[in-house]
Amino acid sequence: MITFDSHSTDPYYNLAFEEFIFTRVREEDVFLLWRSTPCMVVGSYQNICREVRPARLWRMGIPVLRRISGGGAVYHDLGNLNYSCMTRQEGGVDYDRSLAPVLEALNDIGVPARKNRTSDIAIGEEKISGSAQRSAGGRLLHHGTLLFDADLGALEEISVRGKNDCVQTKGTQSAICTVTNIRPHLAEDMTVEEFRRRLLERMVPDAGDRRELTAEQIREVCRLRDEKYRSWEWTWGRTPAFTYEKCGSFAGAPFRAAYSAKQGIVADAAVECPAVDGTLAARLLNGARLCPEGFAEICETLAGERGPELLELLM
Partner 1 sequence: MEKKLAMPKLRPEMTSGVLCAWLKEEGDPVEAGEPLYEVETDKVVNQIEATESGVLKKQLWEEGDQVAPGAPVAILETE
Task: Pick the piece of the chain touching partner 1 (CB under 8 A) from 2-10, 204-212, 234-242, 247-255.
Answer: 234-242
Question: Shortest CA distance to 21 belongs to which of 103, 121, 134?
Answer: 134
Q: Does 253 bind partner 1 (CB under 8 A)?
A: no
How would you classify the pairing of strands 39-42 and 64-66? Answer: parallel
Work out how close the CB of 147 gets to partner 1 at its nearest, in angstroms, rounded to a whole number.
Answer: 18
Q: Is 287 left (phi over 0), alpha (psi -120 to 50) or beta?
A: left
Residue 93's φ and ψ, nearest 5 degrees, are: -65, 125
* List of E strands, 43-116: 64-66, 74-76, 80-88, 114-116
Q: Does 145 bind partner 1 (CB under 8 A)?
A: no
Contact set for partner 1, span 120-139 (CB under 8 A): 131-137
Q: Is residue 168 within a helix (H) or strand (E), and if so which, with residue range?
A: strand 167-169
**Any idea how long the chain is?**
315
Distance CA 73, CA 239 (A): 13
Q: How far is CA 228 from the centre of its chain?
A: 15
Q: Does 238 bind partner 1 (CB under 8 A)?
A: yes
Work out how close the CB of 136 gets to partner 1 at its nearest, in angstroms, rounded to a whole number.
Answer: 4
> Which listed residue (38, 43, 54, 63) binds partner 1 by CB under 8 A?
43
Contact set for partner 1, span 103-122 (CB under 8 A): 118-119
> Which listed residue (60, 103, 241, 258) binds partner 1 by CB under 8 A?
241
Q: Does 23 bind partner 1 (CB under 8 A)?
A: no
Q: How far is CA 166 from CA 54, 210, 257, 294, 295, in A?
A: 13, 47, 10, 19, 16
Work out how close the CB of 137 gets to partner 1 at its nearest, in angstroms, rounded to a whole number.
Answer: 7
Number of residues engaging partner 1 in binding (CB under 8 A): 27
> Which listed residue (24, 88, 94, 280) binds partner 1 by CB under 8 A?
94
Contact set for partner 1, span 55-84 (CB under 8 A): 68-72
Work out how close the CB of 97 gets to partner 1 at its nearest, in angstroms, rounded to a whole number.
Answer: 12
Distance CA 55, CA 59 (A): 6
Residues forming contacts to partner 1 in the complex (CB under 8 A) are: 43-45, 68-72, 92-95, 118-119, 131-137, 170-172, 238, 240-241
